[in-house]
Amino acid sequence: MCLACADRVKTGFHFISCLPDHWLAGADVCAIKRPRPGSGVCVSSRSSTPTSWPSDSTGQRFRADPGPPGPVFPGAARRTDRRVDGIDGLRTFAVMLVIVYHFRPDVLPGGSIGVDVFYTISGFVITRLLIAEYARTGGISLRQFYRRRWLRLIPALLVVCALTAVLTLAPVQSFRNGWSAALLAAASLVNIVRAAQPGAYSGVTAPLGHTWSLGVEEQFYLLWPPVLASLLHRLSSRAVLVSAGVLAAVPVFWRFHLWQATAAHRIYNGPDTRADQLLAGAVLAILLARLHAGSPWRARLRTWSMRLWVPAVVLLALIIWQVPITGNSPWEASVYTVGFLVIALLTVVLLACVELRPDAPLNRMLSLAPLVWVGRNLSYGLYLWHYPLMHLLSDLGVGRMLFPSTLLATFIMATASYYLVEEPCRRLKSRRRVRGPVPAAVVGGTGPAGPPVGGPGEPAAAVAAPAATAVLPPPALAAEDAAAGEPAPGE
């Protein structure tokens, strides 16, 4: 504990909230992540940062009016523009699983777990970026988050919706309900409509039925960031981690409560019943952000992820090969209650291995250049276009060559979507600049204002810089868009 904090222990203030964070960070400073006017900010005696604040007899400077500290996330201090190629390669495998499943469910009856893999990847990547923003700036800009998500996901979707609506005018059987499908998909409501249908899915969403998963993901993006921001502002890092774990467990009990054969569509399409798969990735992101580079817990995670990735891959392969996820089967009750969480946990093992063990064979395989490029740039477009193109070519009489023809057309349209729609929108986002006060000075370095880092995994002291203003660079907008460019999962 820093001496300024020890001085306040005499009054009974700050001891409970400060000491655990000192143990976590392994530092002799009290890192307060969101300094406010009138809040207590301890500054290590090692710091040479000038300040006009009062000092005690030890020479340590601090504000006289103490306030509650924010959570410490030393692991979030890593570069936010660092991409993990293995995650992009995993996206490629997941989207190809979904595409093959839509053509040949008899070959890969469990191929729809590409959905589940995407959900866990999305929860992990988005949460990691939100925590990095909080550690860097002391807060989360929900407005900017929603703006970036809209520009990343919606324009390409609207192009698909527009073409679907136009095909309503053509004599194509599958697109008779093109207008209703386009409107529901654009509003991210396809999953809500399908969840309310206990029997066979109606044709109202048929040509764009695969966008049900986009609805689940968009609804998660709508609710999770403000919930996470609220937790970060009120709780310690340990409490944030525990809270996320509890939230991830709730959907499992909810599925057990809802389960009956007629509730399969409700469970499969509901945002509340699939939230544990996204939150499983979020829990991993919070855990890794909480552990600094030299933490023994981080070392244990590296060791166990290396030991477990092979069993995880084998189990996922068995599920894909032998366990039907949709339709009647002996596995139905297990899949629709606890099975979704099991698949998410297996994906978490793969993500932990890819993130922590770049030397692992899994990471080397997933980091092959073609897999990385497709996963990074085309996976979202591949998912969006394959389903309507499959219906269109089937109605046009393409028979035995349906799969290769659809796959070729899908790659062409996904490439066009990337260069003509998605990439221009990404450049549009990166032009925005933010002006505002600097919330804290950087101790021992320069960069965006916010909680700095004194060393690997060691939070440096945060010092408020009153009356200072600066033009802040975009908070890693381009890097975030690249890192969070997760495709929507398929049906």
Model confidence pLDDT, tens digit, residues 317-347: 999 999 998 878 888 999 999 999 999 999 9
The model carries a pTM of: 0.76
Residues 36 and 99 in one domain: no
163 and 112 co-located in one domain: yes
Q: Do 101 and 65 sit in the same domain of this protein?
A: no
**Is residue 63 located within the same domain as residue 108?**
no
The domain tally of the chain equals 2
The secondary structure element, H or E, covering residue 435 is strand 434-437
Q: Tell me if 372 is assigned to some domain.
A: no
Do 27 and 459 touch, CB atoms closer than 8 A? Answer: yes
pLDDT attached to residue 110:
94
346 lies in the same domain as 209: yes
Q: Are residues 473 and 358 in the same domain?
A: no
Which pLDDT value is given to residue 78?
54
How far apart CA 311 and CA 309 sit, in angstroms, is: 6
User: So what's the pLDDT on residue 171?
Assistant: 86
pLDDT digits 0-9 by tens, 269-279: 999 999 999 99
- CA angle 353–480–98, rounded 5-degree value: 60
Amino acid (1-letter code) at residue 309: W
- Which pLDDT belongs to residue 445? 34
- 258 and 279 housed in the same domain: yes
Nearest to 473 by CA among 426, 423, 422, 438: 438
Q: Are residues 103 and 156 in the same domain?
A: yes
pLDDT of residue 23: 35
63 & 103 share domain: no
59 plus 185 within the same structural domain: no
Residue 466 lies in a domain: yes
Domain-terminating residue out of 307, 329, 363: 363
Closest CA to 209 of 242, 239, 245, 178: 178
Q: Look at residues 345, 363, 381 and tell me which one is the last residue of a structural domain.
A: 363
Burial grade of 182 (CB within 10 A; 0-12, 13-18, 19 or more): buried
**CA-CA-CA-CA torsion sign (255, 256, 257, 258):** positive
Asked if residues 15 and 2 have their Cβ atoms less than 8 Å apart, the reply is no
**pLDDT under 50 in the chain at which residues?**
1-68, 79-81, 433-491
- Domain annotation covers residue 40: yes
Q: So what's the pLDDT on residue 431? A: 65
Q: Is 15 part of any domain?
A: yes
Does 489 reside within a domain?
A: no
| 397: in domain | no
Q: Of 316, 334, 363, at which residue does a domain stop?
A: 363
Q: What is the 8-class DSSP label of residue 280?
A: H
Structure tokens at 440: 């804290």
Instruction: Tell whether 225 is covered by a domain.
Output: yes
CA distance 63 to 52: 10
Does 78 share its domain with 60? no
Please enumerate, as own/partner, the contacts of 361-367 that have beta carbons within 8 Å and a separation of 24 or more.
362/86, 362/309, 362/313, 363/85, 363/86, 365/89, 366/85, 366/86, 366/87, 366/88, 366/89, 366/90, 366/93, 367/85, 367/86, 367/89
Single-letter amino acid code for the residue at 300:
R
Whether 61 and 112 share a structural domain: no
Percent of the chain clearing pLDDT 70 (strictly above): 71
Q: Which domain holds residue 146?
A: 74-84+95-363
In a domain, 4, yes or no: yes
